[in-house]
Structure 1
Amino acid sequence: MTDSSPSAAPPAPPAPPVDADPRAHHYGVFYSLAEGPADDVAIVVGNCQAESLRQMLEGPGLATIRIPAVHELTASDLPYLRYWLSRAAVLVSQPVRTDYHGMPLGTAQLAALLPAGGRVLRVPVIRVAGLYPTHAIVRPPSDTSLVPPVVEYHDLRVLIEAAIRREGGAVPAAGVAARLDTRTVHTIADESLDQLRRREAANETVVLSDLFERPSFDQMRTLNHPGNPVWSAAATRVRAALGLPEHVVDPGRPLLDRVHAPREAAVIEAFGLDASPTDHWVVDGASVSTDEVRAAHLAWYAEHPDAVDAGLARHAGALATLGLR
């Protein structure tokens, strides 16, 4: 992929940050704290999923640079980002809206910083609910960076319980029950997959939705944390789209492995999975009961009622399917 035509000398890298902290050293090449590759640099931009894809992409014909997730970038990071984009042969990006977080971080804005001949390849944000049909992502309008404690995923049963309690209603001691059967699971899974297909088409991304037509727990640890098999397949498709040879990367560890969601019996039955139901989360290797998460989230909802309202509106369809509204 190297362009052998004459070109201007590459720009000098920005100076390293003064008194670099451990985070800066973690991204050492990005922050000019370590020497990076000379040619065929690829920059992978997106949320926490981008780093997993980057690791699997690294290989013949393509050297990658580890950079912070897009939601972690600050104004002081922009000179480093501009420098690496000016040297990049490829930008692989999840769709990022223009002026994201008030900075020029939109996919089109970043693509404009590539050198002549630089290529852009879009990949979807992977979010599929089939294996975790009661779970959702909700952003409080008052502060979209806020997430509930313990685990950042909202259980729609607990969300409804918070709404009932706020209205003075009675809730069983065991909490609110959802209508969870194989039909419900498939309905939510099909709608979630259709949403992913629509995002892929709208943003002209590499297609990954077909990977989840018969999902497994190896693929998804939570509704938006894919496992290694997904990243291996995604990297193969990205490299194929770029005309690069296929290769296999073993990162030596499970990727995006910090949180594992509980597994419902109805989900296991619906997809014929060889697994057992669980009634707990796994966070950093430790078991956390659903009761503990429920209590922490109910307390958080009491402090952030707009999160409840946002969740009821955003996930009205799933709530109806689950018999919760």
Structure 2
Amino acid sequence: MKQTEPGSAAPGVIVVGSITADITTFSERLPEPGETLLGTAVTLALGGKGANQAVAAALAGANSFLVGCVGTDLFSSLVLTGLTGYGVDITEVRDVNDSTGVAHIRVDASGENDIVIVPMANSHLGAEQVDAAFVSLAGRASVLLTQLEVPASVTMHAIRAGSAAGLTVLLDPAPATALDPGIWPFVDIVTPNETEARILTGIAVVDETSAEEAGRWFCDRGVRSALITLASVGAVLVTTDDVVRFPAFPVTAVDTTAAGDAFAGYLGAALADGLSLADAIRRAMAAGALTVTRRGASPSLPSRSDVEELLADHSSASSLTPLQHSHN
């Protein structure tokens, strides 16, 4: 895997992905089909996996560049102001003749959620815009973050182009969908959760053993590192010659929205800053853990100081180092 040397040029992360206005409702439980419930709160904020990951990378201290599309409606000013407020470079964000994407998120009292995304402007992101952005940003970043809330063909193009440009390519395969099997050799790190791993591999991920099996599926197809995230259980990293298990940070979940985005953004920023993959994963897991303790998408993303404080509070060997290595 490509790695930035500490002390080199300012670390940069390019995020190719979605931008949405997130409308989140909170209730004691999620309604049954056909049922109406009275909720307890509602929020309207910047969201979208691409935007959230770009914000997380910026909060982590990276130069964060977002490539995406917004509409010409009232929501566009909301999301663009939010992005710049967090320090994200939006030079490569384009206005298109459509509505800004919207996500409707429902959260219950346990912090679990369900989400309906209407892509709208996000559907206009194309390969030409991605290529132009890579030319414009050449030499300013070493890591590429991708997801699947924009057209899958565009994400696949970005992955291939990013790999050709020498970037460390991360794929957060959410929402999971069948992908061209030829894409995997261009991916340095894939980070599915249990559900996404099952959809992509056909392997039911229910524990660390099955997570390792799913991770090997990705590596057998050319991915350099497969990191299967297991929520409160932790994560399992599988490479061609090693398996490393990482424990979770114990927290009380309030809202799991954007936890995976916090993880991806902090992981990308840490790798761009020259951290080892294991250290980058621990930092990313701390960011994800803090995110679930707060409501909302971008508003729940933690600051670098908060992440460092959590890491310091759990600085014992059991939390700073992997639980187990398995050499094969």
Q: TM-score, normalised by structure 2?
A: 0.34
**The structure with more strand, counted as a fraction of residues:** 2
Give the number of the structure whose alpha-carbon radius of gyration is greater. 1
